[in-house]
Structure 1
Amino acid sequence: MSEQQILISDPEKLEQTIEKMRADGPEKLHILADFDKTLTRAVVDGQASPSVIAQLRNNKILGQTNYAEQAHALFNKYYTYETDQKLSFAERSEQMKKWWHEHHELLIKCGLDQESINAVVAKKTLQLRTGTLNFVDILHNNNIPLVIMSAAPAYMIARYLAQEDRLYDNIKIIGNWYIFDANGKMIGVEEPIIHVLNKREITLGDKPEFAEIKKRRNVIVLGDTLEDTDMITGFDYDQLIKIGFYNQPTDENLDKYRETFDIVITGDGNMNYVNELLQKIIS
């Protein structure tokens, strides 16, 4: 699956949905997107790109506390549960909850602060997909809300976007917002904590962002895992297009993706097709 392909499950149905969205106009549309490996690349220079949270591990911040070693130990303990589709969803989700809780406790114990996070972001080791900046600009220029729902530290996502001069007012980030004291040191995490498998439990209607999107009942969902489609749970939409980035090196799970998403983009592809789709809807 090294080359990008655009796989459409039902082309006729997709065209009908696009036409309905276009007829309703951009004022009825909002975007619901994951961040890691959705708006960012999954592979960089032949190596798997670390997630936002992994940037803290790999950049060896808090070195005097052995944070990186302890964080890698947690990764080795729990990562299999995140990816193993053979395990029950309930078991995987419970293990993710433990992982996130233990990691947040570790960050607090090791003294994570805003200065350290800003230093990691400034290294620019995270790469957005080609076309992501254009994607964000299209949405901003047409006043279309972009709701990013991520298990990553929301503060870091905001800093990455700000670094690219793209932290627009139409962007809302639903993620794990760290709580900092007056000196910028992490002392907690706002509830509820989001991990990679519980997005179905994070109901949009319970969020402040809901007031801005509740009348925008046409939705495009972007994700890279099957569970990312759970972001739409509880939202009463009219039209929905689900776009999945299939970043896996083999086609073992490709059929599941094609059953779940209306459009699958393989090969760690770019955002060009998504941007063309957007332009078609808002034209």
Structure 2
Amino acid sequence: MLDREGVTKFLSGENIRCRDTAKVTQKICEMKKDGYSALQILADFDYTISHFRFEKEKMSSSFGALEKYSGMSEEFRAKTLALYNHFYPQEVDPNIPAEVKVGLMTEWFTKSAGCIISEGVSKETVKNAADTSKVKLRGKFDVFAETLKKEEVPLLVFSAGVGQVIERVFSNAKISPDNIKLIANMLEFNSENNAEQFRPPLITTGNKSTVAAQEKEYFNSHIDRVNSILLGDNIEDIQMSACVRNYSKNVLTVGFLNDRVEDRLDLYKSTFDVVILNDPDFTDVIQLFECLQ
């Protein structure tokens, strides 16, 4: 039986906003009947698994780990900061049509990636940048990841960020990779260990559904996982559901709304089943997961 008290407690949490509680409750009920053996998790990394702010300080994305690293040239940091100042306001502007925003984000990611390659970063530079960065995992994500491992629930981390930075952050936090699949922008290095390109195609916030279509082996291996929880912080992260829609019974979508909350809340509530405010730790996600026990 569904623990309706637990679901009610989750949906009434101070960080939680939900447009249709009846719909969400029904999804949770159906997912609980199928159990953990039918469940998979699809999650963005930057500002979803990681914090947007922590103790009132703005945290870095995985691209930002390199862009702000003191070991990079001043010219590089100036260029990437200018790109951020130009494109970030457009990323969070709810008045820009989705099709226009996809083009803008593709331009931003392409130019940022070009700056990294032009800088000729080494494997050691990437490691040091990750180690000293302000990329911070949300509290209790390690607990969530360990619970998924114990219950044998696969976690797909699907990110438009820098793959090696994400791997290093996970490693430093002792996050087990055993049941985690990472799809991200992986740097490819030459014989001198300097980056020469990002492995194509370059993943942006706007093309995750297209990239997912190329990961047939992973999704085919989990075709019995007919229920999914999707975690993201951008409206475009909803695209991750496209890769499981053909065989899914239920996709429960959860959006972290970290910035410009007042003018984007209605948009997020109309896009995601559940919206999480206030940039909290993973307690709310763990509580949702426990509703499916």
Normalised by the length of structure 1, the TM-score is: 0.91
1:58 matched to 2:58: no
Q: For residues 195 and 187 of structure 1, what CA distance do their matches in structure 2 show? A: 19
Q: Which residue of 1 aligns with 2:20?
A: 10
Pairing partner for 2:77 from 62, 68, 74: 68
Q: What letter is aligned with 1:240?
A: V
Q: For residues 133 and 85 of structure 2, what CA distance do their matches in structure 1 show? A: 25
User: Could you give the per-residue CA deviations for residues 162-200 of structure 1, whole angstroms, max 9, x where no partner exists?
Assistant: 111114221011111111123321111112211122223
Q: Moved runs in structure 1, 4+ residues, more than 3 A?
A: 204-208
> In 1, are the aligned partners of 2:121 and 2:194 still within 8 Å (CA)?
yes
Pairing partner for 1:184 from 175, 189, 193: 193
Alpha-carbon RMSD across the aligned residues, in angstroms, is: 1.9
> In 1, are the aligned partners of 2:185 and 2:198 still within 8 Å (CA)?
yes
Q: For residues 197 and 246 of structure 1, what CA distance do their matches in structure 2 show? A: 18
Matched pairs, number: 279
Pairing partner for 1:257 from 258, 268, 273: 268
Q: For residues 165 and 274 of structure 2, what CA distance do their matches in structure 1 show? A: 29
Unaligned runs of 5+ in 2: 1-12
Q: For residues 126 and 167 of structure 2, what CA distance do their matches in structure 1 show? A: 11
Q: What letter is aligned with 2:221?
A: E
Q: Which residue of 1 aligns with 2:283?
A: 272
Greater CA drift, 160-169 or 27-36: 160-169
Q: For residues 160 and 214 of structure 2, what CA distance do their matches in structure 1 show? A: 18
Q: Which residue of 2 aligns with 1:140?
A: 149
Secondary structure of the residue aligned to 2:70 is: coil
User: Could you give the per-residue CA deviations for residues 79-121 of structure 1, whole angstroms, max 9, x where no partner exists?
Assistant: 3332222223222222222222222222122111110111122
Pairing partner for 1:28 from 38, 45, 67: 38
1:195 matched to 2:196: no
Kindly tell me: are residues 76 and 11 of structure 1, through their superposed partners in 2, closer, same or farther at Cα, counting changes over 3 Å?
closer
Kindly tell me: are residues 204 and 164 of structure 1, through their superposed partners in 2, closer, same or farther at Cα, counting changes over 3 Å?
farther
1:88 matched to 2:97: yes
Q: What letter is aligned with 1:23?
A: K
Q: Which residue of 2 aligns with 1:48?
A: 58
Pairing partner for 2:178 from 169, 181, 187: 169
1:124 offset after TM fit, Å? 5.2
> In 1, are the aligned partners of 2:69 and 2:133 still within 8 Å (CA)?
no
> In 2, are the aligned partners of 1:82 and 1:196 still within 8 Å (CA)?
no
1:249 offset after TM fit, Å? 4.6
1:130 matched to 2:139: yes
Q: For residues 127 and 212 of structure 1, what CA distance do their matches in structure 2 show? A: 31
1:228 matched to 2:232: no
Secondary structure of the residue aligned to 1:251 is: helix
1:78 offset after TM fit, Å? 2.7
Equivalent runs, 1:114-129 vs 2, <5 Å: 114-123=123-132, 125-129=134-138
Greater CA drift, 208-217 or 225-234: 208-217
1:47 offset after TM fit, Å? 2.5
1:203 offset after TM fit, Å? 2.8
> In 1, are the aligned partners of 2:219 and 2:243 still within 8 Å (CA)?
no
Q: For residues 225 and 22 of structure 2, what CA distance do their matches in structure 1 show? A: 24
1:31 offset after TM fit, Å? 0.3
Q: What letter is aligned with 1:89?
A: A
> In 2, are the aligned partners of 1:222 and 1:243 still within 8 Å (CA)?
yes
1:4 offset after TM fit, Å? 4.7
Secondary structure of the residue aligned to 1:66 is: helix
